[in-house]
Structure 1
Amino acid sequence: MDLPVNPPVSPMLARAGTAVPAQPDDGPAWLYEPKWDGFRCLVFRDGEEVVLGSRTGRDLTRYFPEVEAAVRAELPGRCVVDGEVFVPRPDGGRLDWDLLSQRVHPAASRVEKLARETPAQFVAFDLLALGTEDLTGLSTAERRARLVAALAGCGPVTHVTTATRDAAVAARWFTTFEGAGLDGVVAKPLAAPYEQGQRVMTKVKHRRTADCVVVGYRLHKNLPGIGSMLLGLHTDGEEGVAFVGGATAFTAKRRAELLELLAPLRTGDEPAPGEKNRWNARRDDSWVPVRQELVCEVEYDQLEDRRFRHNPRFLRWRPDKTPRECRLDQLDVPVGYDLADVLSGASR
């Protein structure tokens, strides 16, 4: 592979913001895009040679053969494109994080099966090289124009993300696009070059809180203490308490403290079997049930069906709340929005 920009590339990153940045009075300074909740992916194509690189430099090509084929069929013959791999639900209505995460599997036969059953797609949001040109020194505005021109007519597997310079439109996207499974809004400085590994952009993600009952814990594999604290919410269904996710981000000291707190609440001598790990069948995912007495507040971004899409962040204990008050219906469920409208740019 001999391109103006060769792998590995450390993609340009974003720092967290609390609100969609406003445009200054003297003219637009930001380009706004939807924040896609998939796997960051840098596509390198040099003729028939294609590499799909992850944010950390890992080669993703073998996991997404249908995307590799689409790159050859739909993208320019020599290019480097920054974007995201995602998997839509079978009905095409929204992104599905669980289906995407299942695609990274060690067995080639499983990869081939999932490529047929839950095919991935690629959405492009930056152009780093085209032909013999290195475009990383150009401004965001110039790279966006080159991206749109170079990928005009691409599809049906590859797409160019919709974008706008209107802050009001971006604020509307922040609310409405969540219904299609997107994760927020990204703002890019219009005058900035592509700076590898630097937090040049601003990302605004959904942040919510929920009160959950602690239903158990998993022990840490290497450290003394818990690995994760498992959370549940009461429902009106037969299951009583539905498992909704687990908080995992704790210091080593805090892990030991939590084990000291939770161990006396164990409800049995033997761990309960966990869900079989999709990547490692030999991994022990058993967990320890506890009496459902403790309530904690966590921060989360959004739901995937009835579970937190990503691991929630522990905020504080809530001794003022009873476990019965921790109900599934407290969670904010976004209004549905069609992924096809996001991809077509119909709402721009």
Structure 2
Amino acid sequence: MDLPVMPPVKPMLAKSVKKIPPGMQYEAKWDGFRAIVHRDGDEVVIGSRTGKPLTRYFPEVVAAVRENLPPRCVIDGEIVLPWEGRLDFDRLSERIHPADSRVRLLAGETPAALVAFDILALDDTSLLSAPQTERRAVLEGALAGASPPVHVAPATTDPALAQDWFERYEGAGLDGVVAKPLDLPYRPDTRAMYKIKHERTADCVVAGYRFHKSGPVVGSLLLGLYDARGSLQHVGVCAAFTMKRRAELLEELDPLRIDPAAHPWSAWADATAHEGSRLPGAPSRWSGKKDLSWVALSPERVCEVAYDHMEGDRFRHTTQFRRWRPDRTATGCTYAQLEEVVRYDLSEVLRPG
């Protein structure tokens, strides 16, 4: 491979803001795997956000790249998995599998797609120093003849339309909106763009915690919600505390520590138990050998957390602690409190043209 921008490349990133800023280019924020795609003839390399290769996990995307992208180019985009009219991150995650036979089976059963939203190089020209508006024009020209499963992300400079996308597209499984300054060059591994994500709050049971990697202080709180059967399900974690607050939490939560055998999640170490319930400590292809052990707490304390959206029956990302809720009882923390998002057909977002 011989391109003006060579792998690995870490993508340009975005920092969170509360409102859509004016005077920029706006795109939907995709919920998938960020991917930098290098193509030089038949050679294709797909790099992840960290620079590690994703190529072997998505043979159908590699084939689509050879079919639809210019012979020599570097594209920034997102690998997504459309399923029943929306994006499905759970099915996408299943594609990261060590067995090649499993990868190829899933490539046929649940094929992924590539959404392109930036271009870093074309032919012998690097576009890293070109402004966003110029790169967008080059991208649209280079992929004018592309067809599914390769798509060019819709973009606009109209903030009112961006607000409309923000409100409607969540039902198709999208995360929010990304805003890009019009004169912005491509800056790898730098938070030079802006992201506006959905935020809601929920009251959750604090049912345990994990220690922080740096020492004997709280690393994250394990959150639970009661389902319709009255079973406490593990729905995610709450983190991002200061080190001082982590030490304080260890002391505050100590009176709630109980024997793990008496906890609703006592069966977490049994792999078969995870088939019927959402428990912490489940084996994960992402965690590898990471220590997922946790300290059991009596499930009686309630906290309010902020979250962006759900993925199935759990929080998609790490939640943010807002406050303790001494006025709430743990048994009242159910899935019923969560806001349901109106479904929106993904094909409306990725329609031709």
Q: Equivalent residue for 1:26?
A: none
Query: After superposition, where does 1:178-189 map in structure 2 within 5 Å?
Result: 178-189=170-181
Is the contact made by 1:16 and 1:204 (CA closer than 8 Å) also made in structure 2?
A: yes
1:222 and 1:87 mapped to 2: Cα distance? 36
User: Does 2:95 correspond to 1:103?
Assistant: yes
User: Does 2:255 correspond to 1:264?
Assistant: yes
User: Does 2:123 correspond to 1:164?
Assistant: no
- After superposition, the C-alpha distances for 1:138-169 in whole angstroms (9 at most, x for unaligned) are 22222111111111231222110011111111
**Residue 284 (structure 1) shift:** 6.0
Q: Equivalent residue for 2:324?
A: 317
Q: Equivalent residue for 1:298?
A: 305
In structure 2, stretches of 5+ residues that fail to align are 269-279
**Residue 301 (structure 1) shift:** 0.5
Q: Which amino acid aligns with 2:249?
A: L
**Residue 215 (structure 1) shift:** 2.1
User: Does 2:300 correspond to 1:276?
Assistant: no
SS of the aligned residue for 1:124 comes to strand
Which residue of the other structure, out of 225, 237, 241, is the alignment partner of 1:233? 225
Q: Equivalent residue for 2:134?
A: 142
Q: Which amino acid aligns with 1:13?
A: L
Residues 145 and 206 (structure 1), Cα distance of their counterparts in 2 relative to 1, 3 Å cut: same
Is the contact made by 1:162 and 1:345 (CA closer than 8 Å) also made in structure 2?
A: no
1:275 and 1:114 mapped to 2: Cα distance? 25
Q: Equivalent residue for 1:10?
A: 10
Q: Which amino acid aligns with 2:44?
A: V
SS of the aligned residue for 2:300 comes to coil
Residues 128 and 283 (structure 1), Cα distance of their counterparts in 2 relative to 1, 3 Å cut: closer
Q: How many residue pairs align between the two structures?
A: 337
User: Does 2:25 correspond to 1:34?
Assistant: no
Residues 248 and 104 (structure 1), Cα distance of their counterparts in 2 relative to 1, 3 Å cut: farther
Is the contact made by 2:260 and 2:296 (CA closer than 8 Å) also made in structure 1?
A: no
- After superposition, the C-alpha distances for 1:245-267 in whole angstroms (9 at most, x for unaligned) are 12233445544543444343244
Which residue of the other structure, out of 234, 244, 247, is the alignment partner of 2:235? 244
Residues 284 and 112 (structure 1), Cα distance of their counterparts in 2 relative to 1, 3 Å cut: farther
Which residue of the other structure, out of 58, 68, 71, is the alignment partner of 1:74? 68
1:269 and 1:213 mapped to 2: Cα distance? 16
Q: Equivalent residue for 2:57?
A: 63
2:94 and 2:213 mapped to 1: Cα distance? 22
**Residue 289 (structure 1) shift:** 3.9
2:282 and 2:330 mapped to 1: Cα distance? 28
Q: Which amino acid aligns with 2:140?
A: V
Q: Equivalent residue for 2:273?
A: none
SS of the aligned residue for 2:208 comes to strand
Is the contact made by 1:223 and 1:252 (CA closer than 8 Å) also made in structure 2?
A: no
Is the contact made by 1:229 and 1:248 (CA closer than 8 Å) also made in structure 2?
A: yes
**Residue 216 (structure 1) shift:** 2.5
Per the normalisation by structure 1, the TM-score is 0.88
**Residue 283 (structure 1) shift:** 6.3
**Residue 269 (structure 1) shift:** 4.6
CA RMSD of aligned residues (A): 2.4
**Larger mean Cα displacement after TM superposition, 277-286 or 336-345:** 277-286
SS of the aligned residue for 1:292 comes to strand
1:286 and 1:194 mapped to 2: Cα distance? 41
User: Does 2:350 correspond to 1:343?
Assistant: yes
Residues 202 and 276 (structure 1), Cα distance of their counterparts in 2 relative to 1, 3 Å cut: closer
SS of the aligned residue for 1:329 comes to helix
Q: Equivalent residue for 1:21?
A: 21
**Residue 228 (structure 1) shift:** 3.1
SS of the aligned residue for 1:294 comes to strand
- After superposition, the C-alpha distances for 1:64-108 in whole angstroms (9 at most, x for unaligned) are 22211211122111110011111222x2x1111222223223333
In structure 1, stretches of 5+ residues that fail to align are 23-28
SS of the aligned residue for 1:232 comes to strand
Percent identity reads: 56
